[in-house]
Amino acid sequence: MSSIVAGIEMGGTGCKVAISDTNGQFTEQYSLQVVTTTSENTLLEIHDWLALKKSERPFVAIGIACFGPVDLNKKSKTYGYITTTPKPGWQYVNVVGAFHDLNVPIVFETDVNAPAMTEAALLGDTSAAYITIGTGVGVGLVINSQPIHGLMHPEGAHIKVERISGDDYSGCCPYHGSCIEGMSKAQAVAERLNISPSLLSTIPDDHPVWNIQAYYIAQLCAATMYLTSVERIIIGGGLMKRQILFKLIRKHFHQILNNYINIPIITQNIDEYICPSQLGDLIGIQSALDLAQTVVNKN
């Protein structure tokens, strides 16, 4: 059974907060878009909106799908914190702690594990990867219907890549240079073209830079599938609004596999294996609401 719950989608440039309807679903009427500024101001704005709306629409739990890296270890002193993010002013910020005084259970997850959970549930799968490609690259994983936690959470975007011939771009990950994130996030594509990332939308679909980018994302898809055997790979994020990327990623994915995996969804229905979100732009906030519902269902 579903209840009224609150959800927070914490992003590096914008956040969304919402209170669900009685079926746990997102409704525009009870939602607020917040620009991500300083950690204090951003968390306060979200907190105050929830505090204000709670009397009107009482929610019984909060789900937070947060950009990372985050601490998901409940035994850790920094559980519920954003940890070593390169984002200025957001290192070691206590996100969960900012909402304790609202007196409801809080479920905290990464902004990629949470969507993987929602997508797997919607599709009736017990495993899924959710990859996001935008200002960063992230990989969330659900296996046996559970989000992957352990040492921390999956960091698949930092796997080193094999270079596509002709691409001499050095990569922009401050830690690894040419890892998947360093070779395929928006900044990497823009730097190859010597333009600002804000102008990427002006580059036509047939520009060769998209084929290069797709090759690196396809390597991430192949590594994820080989290692985890997920039943589905969902790809979202700002850059994936460019539909041609799905076609290019699937093409490279097949070439990388080289017929090694002989399963119909891979050989015949690749469009269903590597696919966009079922919920489009709402996946982030709905997945935060769904997280909150998991604690309601436990009680």
Residues that bind Zn ion (CB under 5 A): 158, 173, 175-176, 179
- Tell me how far, at minimum, the Cβ of 111 lies from Zn ion, in Å: 18
Query: What does the alpha-carbon distance between residue 177 and residue 162 come to, in Å, rounded to a whole number?
Result: 13
Q: Which is nearer to Zn ion, 57 or 158 (CB)?
A: 158
Q: Which is nearer to Zn ion, 112 or 257 (CB)?
A: 112
- Tell me how far, at minimum, the Cβ of 164 lies from Zn ion, in Å: 18
Q: Are 119 and 140 in contact (CB under 8 A)?
A: no
- Tell me how far, at minimum, the Cβ of 174 lies from Zn ion, in Å: 8
Q: Are 82 and 93 in contact (CB under 8 A)?
A: yes
Q: Are 36 and 13 in contact (CB under 8 A)?
A: yes
Residue 261 buriedness (CB in 10 A; 0-12 / 13-18 / 19+): middle
- Tell me how far, at minimum, the Cβ of 172 lies from Zn ion, in Å: 9
Q: Which is nearer to Zn ion, 158 or 242 (CB)?
A: 158
Sign of the Cα torsion 147, 152, 157, 159 reads negative
- Tell me how far, at minimum, the Cβ of 138 lies from Zn ion, in Å: 12
- CA–CA distance from 175 to each of 24, 61, 157, 190, 272 (Å)? 40, 37, 12, 19, 34
Q: Which is nearer to Zn ion, 138 or 197 (CB)?
A: 138
Q: Which is nearer to Zn ion, 158 or 247 (CB)?
A: 158
